[in-house]
Amino acid sequence: MRSNQAYPGENKWKGWLYLLPGLLIYLVFTFYPILETIRTSFYQWDGFSARRVWVGLENYRVVFSDGQFVSAFVHNLVFIVFFCVLPVLIGLFLASLLSRKKMPGMTFFRTVLFLPQVISMVVVGVIWRWIFNPQFGPLNVLLTAVGLSSLTRPWLGDFALALPAVGSIGTWVQYGFCMILFLAGMQHIPEEYYEASSLDGANAFQQFTHITIPGLRAEIGVALVTTIIAALRVFDLVYVTTRGGPGNATLVVGFLIYRSAFQQNRIGYASAIATILMVIILVISLLIRRLQSGSAEQTA
Amino acid sequence: MKRLRLHLVVLLVSALILGACQGAIKPAETQAPAPEETTLVVWDQFYRDVESQVMDTLNKEFEAAHPGVKIERVVKTLDDLKVTLKLALTEANGPDVAQVNQGRSDMGAMVEAGLLLPLDSYLAKYNWSSAFSTSVASRNSFTADGKTFGQGNLYGVSPTAEVVGVYYNKTMFKKHGWDVPKTFEEFEALLAKIKESGETPISFGSLDGWNAIHEFSAIQHLLVSLDYINNLTYGVNNVSFNTEENLQAAQILQNWAKAGYFSEGYAGIGYDDSNALFKAGSGAMTITGSWLAGELVNDTDQQFGFFLLPPFEGKTALAIGGVGIPFAIRNTTTKADLAAEYLNWMISPRAAELWAKAGMLPAIALPEGADVDTNNLFGDTLKAWDTINKGNAVGHYIDWATPTFYDTLVAELQKLLGSISTPADFVAAVQKDYAAYLNK
């Protein structure tokens, strides 16, 4: 029995020892704070005083009845279009452009297109706040220069356009990540498939839908999970650009948590929102993984 | 077997965590200051170049006057200070003296948690009531349970003062022959005249939100009584936000937005950007606080002046104003007397002179013969502060009223400015927040 489980000369418990540093960091900095957040969500607490009152599910009742969470979550759902759907589509498009034909300078394009992903979100926010500035921002200047001055707007201050404006920053950040992911995936698709299909008379679009997309199933799954999570937990971008305004037009769950916890000292209420958000993200991630493995079995 | 090993790992991990915690606690316990050398730990938020130098000078002079005392200064931005201070004050080795932001969610919450030392005995000892008025003291006062703002014990003393008014571009005013208005009616006529000339009447940007509160409340302060604004801010005597005066102020603000008196695209411009534009000569006026005065002196070819938003014909006017973020003492400090001595130094005539030299309004009167040039923008703000301080017309930052008032006001004012809501909707929505707080 023993020889089946371990390599000769090695004790099994050594494996745990290798895991220990990572496990320790995970337990202390991720798992313990999560448990603490869940516990705090049952209390009324201002975050620093010794008075912490057990209120049971009261925080959850308030979260679902005061309307703030629901309206903020709707904005997060809109962000899924901008952080996930658009970047995946753009990423697929760019990846198939860059992978099919060998051209000089390809590495340069790949790097440049991936760059937004590398910049910190705060810096991204500051840059786009400047781009969107109604008086000296390049966007309105450009629109005016080409005779479209009727389209100029105070983008981040416009009630109808602020949410799409912030969302499009997300698209700009995320598509590079999707593209690199898909490019890597495409290298595993055998060239023969494409050759065989073109002999059979398939055009580029048919090749894309019947060879490339199925071949990228795993990568698309990863892209969906990470970008949807990014859309649901977005905070820094909103904090830097609009702080939830104008009105509450760009208020998202992440910012609502920050505002309740650190500006209004409602730690219990904020913890309840954070717990709900965590459960939602967990369910969505599991669902996507289930869908993905299910369809992978079908095609196999 | 497997299960046992898992248990072992968990045990090992817990032991490591516990060990790490103990290691962190131990050295702190043994660390006691030598009897002659006393270190006073001070946290402040004067991080900007000039004001930071004032603090360094004051600290050095304090050390020189108190042999054996060392000031350990920790500087943070206000945002950083607000987030970290509450927990730091619960520590046995936390700061002895710290700047504590006024209002319910900061000072009020800390008083409720028993983190701050009541200063009333020192108020008598140092005769602070001769240095500042009761109206000023009440801004730093709470009842001992932290529930009632504006009365009870004194918990902080403020070194600087602030007043919200109108900065105007003197260069532009001279060029067009405009005069500083004496009444609100003249002020509104001037706005129309500036608009007609093609210039922007009021440089403004509401993207950051908070300064919209000042735009609204500056007008509100011309209409309401001091009693009303005190009651509203301190949450006493059950006043309402849904009043004729507030409605009228909201209407005026919305009219200005509709008439195009604010910078083009103001909804998408941040506070700092709007000020940068104003400094560069775009916009005839801007409504904000005296803290901006220092910024408008260097690196510009424009000349700026400051005046209080003028009163309605035949009425007396208040102005938003108050004292800067006060210094407070940690309740559990062992050096309370020394800390109080330090607070007293922060509001001494010498400190007032240094603050004035740095272009900031001192909270107490400048000493006679102080070596400070007042024939300039700083002089204008000093005059404005003197006017409201002596005339008992110092209003309030209304966002102190409830813990959620700031967020509610910002969101509702952006809607009002964008004509998403009416002035009636605005006062009703704000009143809803206020009533919910009073009924708690």
A24 and B13 within 8 Å at the Cβ level: the answer is: yes
pLDDT tens column, A80-120: 999 999 999 999 999 988 887 677 777 888 888 888 888 99
Q: At what angle do helices B336-346 and B349-357 cross, to 10 degrees?
A: 50
Distance CA A69, CA A252 (A): 8
Phi-psi region of B48 (alpha: psi -120 to 50; beta: other; left: phi over 0): beta
- Per mean pLDDT, which range of A108-112, A158-162, B15-19, B308-312 is the poorest? B15-19
The torsion angles phi and psi of B193, rounded to 5 degrees, stand at -65, -40
Q: Evaluate whether B350 touches B125 at the Cβ level (below 8 Å).
A: no
Tokens for A127, please give them. 């840059």
Check CB contact under 8 Å for B86 and A47. yes
Which candidate from B109, B112, B265 shows the least CB-CB separation from A134? B265
Pick A243's closest partner by Cβ from B109, B209, B269.
B209
Q: What is the pLDDT of residues B244-294, one digit of tens each?
A: 999 999 999 999 999 999 999 999 999 999 999 999 999 999 999 998 887
CA-CA distance, A202 to A195, in Å (whole number)? 10
**Nearest Cβ partner for A135 among B105, B265, B403:** B265
What part of A 155-174 touches B (C-beta under 8 Å)?
155-159
Distance (Å, whole) CA B44 – CA A157: 34
The nearest alpha carbon in chain A to B14 belongs to A24
Q: Is B281 on the interface with A (CB under 8 A)?
A: no
Q: Please count the helices (runs of H) and the strands (runs of E) in chain A.
A: 17, 2
Residue at A22 is within a domain = no
Residue A260's pLDDT band (cuts 50, 70, 90)? very high
Say if A175 falls within a structural domain. Answer: yes
The stretch A187-201 carries a mean pLDDT of: 90
* A253: in domain: yes
The Cα-based distances of A60 to A32, A42, A256, B299, B365 in angstroms read 21, 8, 14, 53, 52
Please name every residue paired with B286 in a beta bridge, in sequence order, or none if there are none: B167
Q: Name the residue of chain B whose CA is nearest to A28's CA.
A: B17
Q: What is the mean pLDDT of residues B131-149?
A: 87
Which pLDDT tens digit goes with each residue over B75-104? Answer: 998 878 888 898 899 888 899 999 998 888
Per-residue model confidence (pLDDT) at position A294: 66
Which band of pLDDT confidence, cut at 50, 70 and 90, is reported for residue B21?
very low
* The predicted structure's pLDDT at residue B369: 79
pLDDT at B31 over 50: no
Nearest to B113 among A48, A136, A156 (CB): A48
How buried is residue B2: exposed, middle or buried, by Cβ count under 10 Å (0-12/13-18/19+)?
exposed
When scoring B105, B199, B266, B269 by the number of chain A Cβ atoms within 10 A, the one with the most, hence best to mutate, is B269
The CA distance from B195 to the nearest CA of chain A, in Å, is: 17
**Kind and range of the H or E element at B72?**
strand B69-75
Quick check: is A44 in a domain?
A: no
A20/B contact by beta carbon, under 8 A: yes
Peptide bond into B35 cis (omega under 30): no
CA distances from B275 to B278, B283, B292, B382 (A): 5, 10, 9, 21
CB contact under 8 A, A153 and B268: yes
From B81's Cα to the closest Cα of chain A, the distance in A is 12
* pLDDT band with cut points at 50, 70 and 90 for residue A296: low
pLDDT of residue B92: 85
Residues of B in contact with A51 (CB under 8 A): 112-113
Question: What kind of fold does domain B38-156+323-378 have according to CATH?
Answer: D-Maltodextrin-Binding Protein; domain 2 (3.40.190)
Residue A182 lies in a domain: yes
Amino acid at B44: D
Residue of A27, A132, A159 with shortest CB distance to B420: A159
Q: What is the pLDDT of residues A228-257, one digit of tens each?
A: 999 999 999 999 999 998 999 999 999 999
* SS3 of residue B306 by DSSP: strand
Radius of gyration of chain A (CA): 24
Residues B28, B34, B36: CA angle, nearest 5 degrees? 150
Instruction: Tally the domains of chain A.
Output: 1
- CATH number of the domain that residue A171 is part of: 1.10.3720.10
Q: Do B265 and A153 touch (CB under 8 A)?
A: yes
pLDDT bucket at B5, cuts 50 / 70 / 90: very low
Q: A283-288 contacts: CB < 8 A, separation 24 or more?
A: A284/A225, A284/A228, A284/A229, A284/A232, A285/A225, A285/A228, A285/A229, A288/A221, A288/A224, A288/A225, A288/A228
- Per the prediction, chain B carries an average pLDDT of 88
Q: Which of B59, B154, B132 is nearest to B346 (CA)?
A: B59
Mean pLDDT across B144-160: 92
Interchain CB distance below 8 Å, B12 and A152: no
Q: Is residue A46 part of a domain?
A: no
Higher pLDDT, A298 or A278: A278
Residue B201 has pLDDT above 70, yes or no: yes
Confidence of residue A14 (pLDDT cuts 50, 70, 90): confident
Name, of A156-165, B2-11, B28-37, B106-115, the range with top average pLDDT. Answer: A156-165
Partnered with residue A50 across adjacent β-strands are none
**Structural domain contains residue A122:** yes
- From chain A, the residues in CB contact with B87 under 8 A are 48
Task: Give residue A270's domain range.
Answer: 65-299
Give percent of chain B with pLDDT exceeding 90: 67
Q: What is the pTM of this model?
A: 0.83
Residue B327 in this model has a pLDDT that exceeds 90: yes
**For chain B, domain boundaries:** 38-156+323-378, 162-320+395-438
Select from B17, B109, B420 the Cβ nearest to the Cβ of A247: B420
**Domain-located, residue A36:** no
Q: What is the CATH T-level fold of the domain B162-320+395-438, as seen in this structure? A: D-Maltodextrin-Binding Protein; domain 2 (3.40.190)
